[in-house]
Amino acid sequence: MEIQTFPNEIVFFDLETNVPNKTGQHFHILEFGAIIVCPRKLEELESFTTLIQPKDLSMASLRSSRSDGITRAKVTDAPSFEDVAEKIYGLLNGRIWAGHNIRRFDCVRIKEAFAEIGKAAPEPSGIIDSLGLLSDKFGKRAVNMKMASLAAYFGLGVQKHRSLDDVRMNLEVLKHCSTVLFLESTLPNQLEGKWQSSSKIMTRSRSHHQMVQKAMPYTKGSLGKMTQNVKKS
């Protein structure tokens, strides 16, 4: 049977894993999250996320330093990677893969996970790694190239280190960065390198005709809004 592929669709995905703290210890996937994105409008078409139970439950921490972090209790009743491998394969295979630092981390972990269960790993039709892309094009305006720093630079909130939240944040960071770079390209001598890392903008008060500073929080309806009624899988 011919395997259906979608070479022009982009799938942003992210993995949450344990952090090896002993020599010889391996990474184990604890969560997978992905969104399929229309390349023409950069709208979210479909989403999927699942916690994953590692073969050795001791690989998941008993406690997490984050309020919504992944703990051993959360993955105890989760499906194994083998249980969700077919779904993950269908989401990834033949699409353009996108994510932050995926070339060196997520892509490697996915191949390892499929090899461990003796199945062929999905293959991308292309890869967009926002870490390499933004390092080259956007520079260190946000001090460093961590997703948390880039999100803070644009006032997009705090990175949660949960797969689905992080891929959505990744997409929004790319939208904001590309907008800045597009504007700079129109007037490079005036705009390039002049942007400030502030989440506040100056607005004019109609009643007092004065410039006042107002915080403009990010909302889904702002630049790069996501589609509503996202299909769940």
Residues marked as catalytic: 161
Quote the Cα angle for 128-19-24, to 5°.
105
Question: Cα–Cα distance between 50 and 70 in angstroms, integer?
Answer: 12
Residue 103's closest CA among 66, 78, 128? 128
Using the 8-state DSSP alphabet, how is residue 164 labeled?
A: H
Q: How many residues does the chain have?
A: 233
Query: CB of 109 within 8 A of CB of 81?
Result: no
The gap from C-alpha 102 to its chain's centroid, in whole angstroms, comes to 10
Q: Beta 96-99 vs 10-17: how paired, if at all?
A: parallel
Residue with tokens 């999250």: 33
